[in-house]
Amino acid sequence: MTAEVSAQMTPKYAATQGTCLCAAVRYEVDGPLSLLVHCHCSMCRKHHGGSFGTFAGAPLMGFRWLAGADHVITYTSSQKGQRSSCRVCGSVTPLLLEDLDLAVCPAGNLLGDLDIRPSAHYFAGSKAPWHSITDDLPQHEEYPEEFGTTGVTRPQIEPREGIVEGSCLCGDVAYEITGPALRMVHCHCSRCRLGRSAAHATNAVYRIDDVRFTRGEANIEVYKLPSAKYFAVAFCRRCGGSLPHRSPERGIMIVPAGSFDTDPGVRPQCHIYVGSKANWFEITDSLPQHQDGLPK
């Protein structure tokens, strides 16, 4: 068989590219993507700062860093796993699992339309109390049984009346909230998807004086998108976990809901910027949807 005929018989798949929010870290992975799943474990929620993480899997041999591999920081989150992120903007970056021959990429940072859809929810037993799973995908309490492994037990924070608590993934940074939320929304804009490395951001907004850091504020890194009037993200320098950030111009604190340790009581009220949502994510709940931002 000639090389030309052999090449014609080999399926060709366009590479899928990914980027962090600041674009310092860029990569690509050859198709096809083999897996797309939502994970609701507390570590994913804290790392991303969202309702859940969504991960795409592909053969490791098809993965390539295009830029910024030296910008990636890695945090050992347990004896079983690691978490990686961009040290400039905090976006979650791919994990390269050599023993499984697998590149695991946060779907929120993959560019363009994907030709794969989510197939399941992992760690549904650990989902956030303020989040409801409303689609009909299979739900696993932890990993599927065929994985032959279990999750990690993490300490629980006992709620205190009148106080909402939160922290980063490693626990170096913690905060508490003593006032009511002004609103809580799911945002599907491309900035939030890149910043949270997820299908969408889920943010709660509070008055700036109602949120205070109780430890580790010096460990917080803030990245403000140069092209945006207000958009910024905050994260822990050690673990990359998402954290609240101040918007003094508006007198508010934007809190990534995935960072909550205790139930904030408030629930998401709507979806915004659905005109920009990821093509692979379907909104199945009954909350109001707004093509752009909040109604005036």
Q: Are 39 and 139 in contact (CB under 8 A)?
A: no
pTM (predicted TM-score): 0.91
Tally: H helices and E strands in the chain? 3, 21
| Residue linked to tokens 């492994």 | 149
What is the model's pLDDT at position 12? Answer: 52
Tens of pLDDT, residue by residue over 1-35, are: 444 433 343 445 678 999 999 999 999 999 788 89
Report which secondary-structure segment, H or E, holds 47: helix 42-48
* pLDDT bracket for residue 163 (50, 70, 90): very high
Rounded to an integer, what is the distance from CA 58 to the centroid of its chain?
A: 19
Pairing mode of beta strands 35-39, 121-122: parallel
- Nearest-CA neighbor of 68 among 45, 40, 94, 99? 94
Does residue 151 register a pLDDT over 70?
no
All domains in the chain, ordered by first residue = 11-147 (2.170.150.70), 164-276 (2.170.150.70)
**pLDDT, tens digit, for every residue of 219-267?**
999 999 998 888 999 999 999 999 999 999 999 999 999 999 999 999 9
